[in-house]
Amino acid sequence: MVATRSKSPSVSRLAEVARLAEVSPATVSRAFNTPDLLNEATLKRVNAAAAELNYIPDGLARSLRRNRSMVIGAVVPALRHAYFASTVDGLQSEIARRGYTLLLATSDFDEKTELAAVRSMIRQGVDGIVLVGKQHDPALLPLLDDLGKPFIVTWSYDTEIASVGFDHRKAIQPVVNHLLDLGHRDIVAIMAFLNVSDRERDRLAGIEDAFAGRGAEFPRDRVIYAGGSGLQDGRNAFRAAQACFPKATAVICANDLLAAGAMMECAARGLSVPRDVSVVGYGDLDIAAAMNPAITTVRTPAEEMGRMAATSLLAKLAGGDGVEHIELATELIVRGSTGPVAAT
């Protein structure tokens, strides 16, 4: 007597999904393995049928067949504020659309913590890595290269490594020129993570460039170190700025939360924004438009950056080259927190 092999439960369930969705089993398989090959209507029908039947494909078997874990790892400095969270949103939505899962870790701006997180993700078999910025532990990028692990950097544009971001040095210069055009010369800068953030160092260099373009100099002693990036940090830093430079007429902040905190401290001190002090931020968070007056800032494409990073990295994993270097545009948004220097 010849034994016959019964179909596995997974195969039987897939056939049930196919019957309910009125498609072939091959189409159901494509819906979970290569969803971008299906039209939206068919994909919705298959997903609805799978949800109704509580069908979940065998991820381990699928990974073994494709030699892929179908997981992308990402390490960001923090999720306390919306800058990196928006990028994660864009990344997550795009990789999920392609059938991948996101494994996320934060480094708290510490290079050793970031390196440890990446090593852990590699041990767990992630297919690719998404990073933030150009400053990393010296061992990190060689590790990824040695293992042949595809990666892409976000939030910084770099022609030497795969990256999707923008030039912070260029992005901040319209802010400075805007203040100089309004007559401000006595300006201070509030920075949060200058020692550990290449993005902030580039912004400071951009401030210096803009001053140099007007035949002036921005002294480094006019940089106030906030020690953090939150509202209270902004208040504390503005308090320090007032102690050192009481006649300053404008403050350039490394992000919108610092700017909002500076404005709160202005209000507590009886200073009017922008009549007494002009304040600018960076990032165009929701709080920038919600403040009264609304904050002049630089709009950065945080969510778009995440989507484009995912698209480029997944193209590499699919056997293509991907787009190695993507430079995105930023925009100066002028609002009520900046105005001309008050007449004396």
Tens-place pLDDT, residues 294-308: 999 999 999 999 999
Of 26 and 56, more confident: 26
Position 339 pLDDT exceeds 70 = yes
Of 286 and 319, more confident: 286
Tens-place pLDDT, residues 233-277: 999 999 999 999 999 999 999 999 999 999 999 999 999 999 999
Token reading at 289: 């438009």
Tokens 């100089």 label which residue?
180
For the chain, give the percent of residues with pLDDT over 90: 68
Q: Which of 22-31, 48-57, 248-257, 332-341 has the lowest mean pLDDT?
A: 48-57
Say what the pTM is.
0.79
* Predicted local confidence at residue 6, as pLDDT: 42
Position 344 pLDDT exceeds 80 = no
Tens-place pLDDT, residues 31-54: 877 777 788 899 889 888 887 887
